[in-house]
């Protein structure tokens, strides 16, 4: 496969003849502070063996220029050896040494070596991000996960900077206002896991010590870092505290000492994802450094990510999938361990499984109902496929299935299997069968059928209770009906709920059983009093959508907020949201539930999810004729709850933000402006910088923020975050000129980093301004292939998804999407997948609107 892609077949062929002994990588980034300098010097020396002497192969490299290529002392002509994406070599010996010297490009898209200049103080910061295949933007290599090797990095940088990599540094020398950092060799790791972080970062340091079972002491130096201008907001003690709890927990559960020496955590600017598990040098998006007040859900989310990345040190770094088909072998486990670890590590976040049920699974359900859904063990043909498979299936569905597996085999058998897996495959690569082998050993179960049902098929089942009762109100039969293209075995709990003396809905009975086939009778329920609510999948053991019998649903309409247990309540909220998305409950009914019961919701993460879902229900799923009324109802509800919320509470802040998202009428916008000017106040509500930008966005979208006002706010917050918010506010203004400017900024230039691309597309696509953005639907479809060909995949994905005209949610836009798909069968499969998924969102919105139409 030519160009920048790499096919699975090519990777397999290369791995069949090569074994890599080690890399020496020298980077000179002394040019980084010069904004006019576009490149840095990269020199790679790789030692590798070839089982077929005389054969040829290639290294992967994306660089503006290659200066020299030397194979076993023989100089090759870069003009013929390098084709822009690959360095071709032939006549290999049994043992080879290849050196490639190149000028590589600083990145502004978060792919490769990203360079950021802080607008606050002018300081320059660098960091790398590679997954799945962008190490080749920084040094020449064999860019596939199964050609592991030790890496020795040497980095020359400005003298005032510090530099980090995967391994500890062994030596630092200074000369001519530069310092050269020489790092120890790493353990054998994959190319995409290597890392370099460089710049004048603010650093907090700590230390972790643990006595091991063999009598030795494990010592792990810890650090956490961020930009200097964020240092006043950096709660490093909290971050490092969670880190140490996690290290205790994973050592107890995995019984394999942390293998990578030190543990650095860098919070970096303009990061494209949440975090990356580079061994010994984890990178996080710096939005996890909170400049303003956030709810406790944000702290829980950050702690979850810290433990997710830490789990990767074992699942993914120590033992790595052979190819991206088995990406789930690391991501599903890390996603599961993020939530499991919050409980097991005894952090203060005791509601982790509520968050998992309410948020992570919502992502999985959405992804699994696309026509592009895929098995957890996916068919990944090439790197473009791999890039798109970092999705809700690989992460959240995979984690949900692992939670089901723990219920199925027992937690001790599961973790004993993990221990054997690490010891057996340390520093190696694995496939599905390797994991099943150890789990079968420890559980005594044949897991092949389980894997075939859960890992090798796609789609989500719906489970519905079928209840019959006699004249005395006792259950004569309770059955569980299972729908779906593939019927799977489910281990579930059936919860029976009735009102107590205080009027709360509490669990009065719990029956755990295996559900198989289309209909399973719950024998233990016979003779029990018919409850007010039958809740399938109580305790959230399996992965499914749950439905309700008619009586249960009616009782939920009048009492959902009365469910005492927060996990059960979250499951009920998730279920009614799925009913709404599936066109089985009118959107206005869902909105009514939120308006009636969200004020009672104690879990702040669930409340914030309800806000987002209610907004989507009005914007996309409601009958267009009711949208205006629905929007007013949400804004009125937000205003009422804001006034009633406990002063200075997380709930007060959440309702203030929701008011900013829904404000449209004079009363709402008047309060918004009053909060900004100080002429109005809500007792206990601090209008800090992040909330100010939320309020300015509301005014900008309503056409009530002037250029001068927005510019003055940016001048007061001249930071990277301020620039993002300012850009979104400009794009959100309800004028043709604002939409044209946002469109042009993204489409007509490739200078914007990912963060500003997203800010422009978010402001451009305000749902209430669909008449303005509708003009761009036809141009959007015409330029898709050009954007895909000319931009990096990271930027192209944001443009394709961000500018898709979903807000139109009408038959004409659906027809335009269908026409593009029909007329471009040969477009890149990854591009077609993105368009097909957005098209499916649009079709789902139309079905939901039909359900809501009266």
Which active-site residues does the annotation give?
309
Q: How far is CA 723 from CA 108, 672, 692, 720, in A?
A: 15, 21, 13, 5
Report DSSP state, residue 301: H
635 token code pair: 């804004």
Report DSSP state, residue 769: G
On whether the CB atoms of residues 817 and 835 are closer than 8 A, the answer is yes
- Which residue, 349, 350, 352, 371, is CA-closest to 361? 352
Q: For residues 45 and 57, what is the distance between their CA atoms, to the nearest angstrom?
A: 16
Burial class of residue 261 in the structure, from the number of CB atoms within 10 Å of its CB (0-12 exposed, 13-18 middle, 19+ buried): middle
Residue that has been written with the tokens 């009633």 in this structure = 644
Residue that has been written with the tokens 């963060």 in this structure = 755
DSSP 3-state of 519: strand
Burial class of residue 489 in the structure, from the number of CB atoms within 10 Å of its CB (0-12 exposed, 13-18 middle, 19+ buried): middle
- Which residue, 844, 847, 837, is CA-closest to 367? 837
DSSP 3-state of 121: coil
Q: For residues 212 and 515, what is the distance between their CA atoms, to the nearest angstrom?
A: 42
Report DSSP state, residue 808: G
Residue that has been written with the tokens 């190490």 in this structure = 135
Burial class of residue 40 in the structure, from the number of CB atoms within 10 Å of its CB (0-12 exposed, 13-18 middle, 19+ buried): buried
Beta bridge partners of 88: 58
833 token code pair: 């997948």
Q: For residues 655 and 131, what is the distance between their CA atoms, to the nearest angstrom?
A: 37
DSSP 3-state of 552: helix
Among left, alpha and beta (phi > 0; psi -120 to 50; other), residue 112 is: left
Strands (E), 29-183: 39-50, 57-60, 65-71, 74-76, 86-89, 95-105, 112-117, 124-129, 151-158, 162-165, 169-175, 178-183
Q: For residues 694 and 685, what is the distance between their CA atoms, to the nearest angstrom?
A: 14
- Which residue, 803, 772, 808, is CA-closest to 788? 803
Residues 6+ apart with CB under 8 A from 27: 40, 41, 42, 43, 113, 138, 139, 153, 154, 155, 156, 196
Q: For residues 326 and 836, what is the distance between their CA atoms, to the nearest angstrom?
A: 24
Burial 764-785 (b: 16+ CB within 10 A, else e): bbbbbbbebbeebbeebbeebe
847 token code pair: 């079905």
Q: How far is CA 278 from CA 28, 169, 248, 283, in A?
A: 21, 16, 20, 7
Residues 6+ apart with CB under 8 A from 551: 467, 530, 532
Q: For residues 611 and 597, what is the distance between their CA atoms, to the nearest angstrom?
A: 12
Strands (E), 536-673: 545-546
Report DSSP state, residue 541: -
């Amino acid at each position: 496969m030519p160009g920048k892609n790499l096919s699975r077949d090519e990777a397999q062929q290369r791995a069949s003849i090569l074994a890599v002994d080690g890399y020496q990588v020298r980077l000179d980034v002394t040019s980084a502070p010069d904004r006019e300098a576009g490149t840095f010097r990269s020199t790679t020396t790789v030692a590798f063996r070839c089982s077929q002497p005389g054969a040829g192969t290639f290294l992967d490299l994306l660089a503006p220029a290659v200066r020299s290529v030397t194979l076993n002392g023989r100089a090759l002509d870069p003009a013929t050896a390098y084709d822009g994406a690959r360095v071709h070599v032939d006549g290999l010996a049994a043992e080879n040494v290849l050196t490639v010297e190149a000028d590589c490009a600083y990145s502004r898209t978060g792919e490769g070596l990203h360079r950021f200049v802080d607008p606050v103080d002018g300081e320059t910061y660098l960091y790398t991000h590679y997954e799945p295949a962008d190490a080749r933007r920084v040094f020449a290599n064999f860019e596939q996960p199964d050609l592991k090797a030790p890496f020795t990095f040497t980095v020359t940088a400005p003298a005032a900077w510090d530099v980090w990599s995967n391994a500890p540094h062994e030596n630092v020398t200074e000369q001519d206002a530069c310092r050269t950092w020489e790092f120890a060799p790493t353990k054998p790791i994959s190319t995409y896991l290597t890392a370099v972080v460089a710049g004048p970062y603010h650093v907090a340091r700590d230390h972790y010590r643990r006595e091991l079972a063999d009598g030795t002491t494990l010592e792990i130096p810890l650090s956490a870092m961020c930009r200097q201008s964020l240092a006043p907001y950096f709660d490093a003690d909290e971050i490092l505290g969670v880190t140490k709890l996690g290290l205790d927990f994973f050592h107890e559960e995995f019984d394999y000492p942390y293998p990578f020496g030190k543990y650095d955590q860098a919070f970096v600017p303009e990061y494209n994802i949440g975090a990356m598990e580079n061994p010994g040098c984890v990178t996080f998006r710096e939005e996890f450094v909170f400049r303003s007040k956030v709810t406790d859900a944000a702290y829980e989310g950050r702690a979850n990510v810290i433990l997710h990345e830490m789990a990767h040190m074992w699942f993914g770094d120590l033992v790595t999938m052979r190819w991206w088909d088995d990406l789930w072998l690391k991501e599903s486990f890390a996603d599961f361990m993020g939530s499991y670890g919050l409980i097991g590590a005894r952090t203060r976040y005791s509601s982790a499984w509520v968050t998992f049920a309410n948020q992570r699974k919502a992502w999985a359900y959405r992804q699994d109902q696309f026509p592009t859904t895929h098995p957890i063990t996916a068919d990944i043909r090439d790197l473009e496929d791999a890039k798109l498979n970092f999705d809700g299936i690989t992460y959240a569905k995979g984690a949900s299935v692992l939670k089901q597996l723990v219920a199925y085999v027992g937690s001790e058998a599961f973790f004993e299997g993990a221990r054997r897996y690490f010891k057996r495959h340390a520093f190696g690569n694995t496939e599905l069968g390797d994991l099943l082998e150890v789990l079968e050993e420890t559980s005594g179960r044949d897991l092949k059928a389980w894997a075939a049902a859960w890992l090798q098929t796609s789609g989500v089942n719906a489970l519905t209770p079928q209840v019959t009762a006699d004249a005395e109100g006792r259950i004569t039969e309770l059955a569980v009906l299972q729908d779906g293209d593939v019927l799977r075995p489910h281990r579930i709990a059936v919860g029976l709920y009735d009102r107590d003396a205080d009027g709360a809905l509490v669990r009065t009975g719990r029956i755990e059983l295996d559900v198989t086939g289309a209909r399973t009778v719950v024998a233990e329920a016979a003779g029990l009093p018919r409850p007010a609510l039958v809740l399938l999948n109580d305790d959230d053991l399996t992965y499914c959508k749950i439905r309700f019998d008619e009586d249960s649903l009616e009782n939920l309409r009048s009492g959902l907020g009365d469910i005492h247990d927060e996990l059960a309540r979250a499951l009920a909220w998730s279920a009614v949201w799925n009913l709404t998305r599936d066109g089985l409950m009118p959107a206005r009914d869902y909105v009514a539930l939120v308006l009636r019961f969200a004020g009672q919701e104690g879990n702040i993460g669930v409340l914030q999810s309800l806000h987002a879902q209610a907004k989507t229900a009005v914007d996309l799923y409601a009958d267009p004729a009711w949208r205006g009324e629905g929007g007013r109802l949400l804004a009125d509800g937000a205003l009422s709850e804001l006034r009633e919320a406990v002063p200075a509470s997380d709930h007060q802040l959440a309702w203030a933000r929701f008011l900013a998202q829904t404000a449209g009428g004079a009363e709402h916008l008047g309060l918004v402006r009053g909060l900004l000017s100080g002429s109005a106040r809500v007792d206990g509500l601090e209008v800090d910088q992040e909330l100010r930008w939320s309020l300015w966005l509301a005014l900008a979208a309503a056409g009530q923020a002037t250029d001068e006002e927005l510019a003055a706010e940016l001048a007061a917050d001249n930071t990277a975050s301020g620039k993002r918010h300012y850009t979104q506010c400009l794009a959100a203004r309800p004028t043709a000129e604002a939409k044209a400017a946002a469109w042009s900024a993204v489409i007509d230039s490739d200078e914007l980093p990912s963060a500003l691309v997203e800010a422009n597309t978010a402001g451009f696509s305000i749902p209430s301004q669909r008449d303005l953005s509708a003009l761009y639907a036809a141009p959007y479809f015409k330029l898709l292939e050009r954007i895909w060909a000319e931009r990096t995949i990271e930027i192209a994905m944001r443009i394709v998804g961000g500018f898709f005209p979903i807000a139109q949610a009408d038959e004409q836009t659906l027809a335009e999407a269908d026409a593009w798909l029909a007329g471009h069968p040969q477009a890149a499969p990854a591009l077609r997948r993105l368009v097909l998924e957005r098209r499916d969102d649009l079709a789902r919105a139309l079905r939901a609107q039909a359900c809501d139409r009266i």
